[in-house]
Amino acid sequence: MESNPLFWLRPTRKPGAGAFAALFALDSMARATVVTVLYLQAKDLGLPDRDITLLTNVASLSSLAFSFLTPLLMQRFRRRWVYTGGIMLGMCAVLSLGTATMTGEVAGLVLRALSSVAINIGLTLYVMDFIPRHQMIRSEPLRLFSSCLPWGLGPWIGVELYKHFGVEATSALSFVAYAGLMVYFWYLRLSDNPAVAAATRPPPNPLASLKRFVAQPRLMLGWVIAFGRSAWWSMFFVYPTLYLRNHAVDDSWTGALTGAGNILLLLTLPIGWLAQRIGIRRPIVTAFLAGGGLTLLTAVTWNVVPLTALLFLCGAVFVVCLDALGNIPFMRAVRSYERPQMTALFRTYIDLGDLLPGLVYLALQGYFDLRSVFIASGILTLAVGLVATRLPKRM
């Protein structure tokens, strides 16, 4: 009989792409059900659009700071415990949101952002530990494909529960999804891959690695591509919701638009198949240029709500391509012995993709209406598309 009382914590199987896809799907369901309700409730609590932008910036800044702390926590407490802590932060976030108070709204946004940091960094490291580089062009689209139903149906379901039963019902569904994620994660008994861990240096403070990160052009290029994609989605999750509410569109349509944009993740598998044949450079550049152009057009169709909503949806078609392929340049470029600290630095694309454009939007909203947000977002997306042309043609 096993003498170690914690023997059940040890991994019993080598996880594959399917296991990581399932983890990602459960996390997606937990986050997607509240993503639109967060901003609808903020409007119902009386916050103007500019204050909502300020609140999202506060959450992004908190998340950014936590990104640099997470590798140190993983060194001190092990990755599995930090990942578990991230799930618990997510549970606390939806409980705070369920109070339907201004304090709960602020706490919910911040805790949700911190939860995302721990879960995202942990899962990315597990994927790079166990999935060979040459298989990532297949495993990444599969991971994104697994989240298409959670992100496609989650926002709409969350809004319907909010409309008919209150924020408590939405929060309860998200809490159950987090609980499912916790159970499945511990069922897998994930641990660091011993073969990789043996060649990995103990992670220093990521700030100490910033100079090395910036000095590697391929890492920086991968970061910029991921930043541009994240910036577009951060705009999509917040500002079309505010646009539709300001135009007196029923909230059900708001949830449907957010969900429809995300259910397009169904396209990630065919995008992956295409990339295996022609490489990732052309799809990435085309997606940025098309997505940016369509976003700019929303300023022209501003008073035609159905057409503007359609343009957002068409833009999402192209940005989904970036979801399928956008992390691959970094994953292929990062050295194995630098993964923990470099992944923490790379993951800042999510926080800075919220924060930096958000600061620009905050300034613009002091003088202009929401059209200025969509114009700025379109210009940024086009600019990143031009930078992406520096990807090697063989990629």
According to the model, what pLDDT value does residue 192 have? 58
Question: Residue 177 maps to which CATH number?
Answer: 1.20.1250.20
pLDDT recorded at residue 333: 77
Please, what are the averages of pLDDT over each run of 10 residues along the chain (395 residues)?
42 67 89 90 90 89 84 80 93 94 92 91 80 65 76 89 92 95 87 49 61 85 92 92 90 86 76 79 91 94 93 91 82 73 79 88 90 95 93 73
Q: What is the pLDDT of residue 10?
A: 45
Domain that holds residue 109: 15-191+203-388
**Total domain count, the chain:** 1
pLDDT at residue 126 in the model: 82
Closest among 97, 60, 90, 23 to 237, alpha carbons compared: 60
- Establish if 157 belongs to a structural domain: yes
Q: Is residue 354 part of a domain?
A: yes
pLDDT score recorded for residue 231: 94
pTM, 2 dp: 0.76
Q: Is residue 167 part of a domain?
A: yes
Q: In the structure encoding, which two tokens stand for residue 63, read together?
A: 């998340």
Q: What is the pLDDT of residue 262?
A: 77
318-351: b or e for each residue (b if 16 or more CB lie within 10 Å)? bbbbbbbbbbbbbbebbeeebbbbbbbbbbbbbb
Residue 3 lies in a domain: no
199 and 322 Cβ atoms separated by less than 8 Å: no
Kindly state whether residue 173 falls inside one of the protein's structural domains. yes
Domain contains 26: yes
* Cα separation, 243 vs 102, whole angstroms: 22
Domain for residue 395, yes or no? no
Q: Does some domain include residue 10? A: no
Contact 383, 360 (CB under 8 A): no
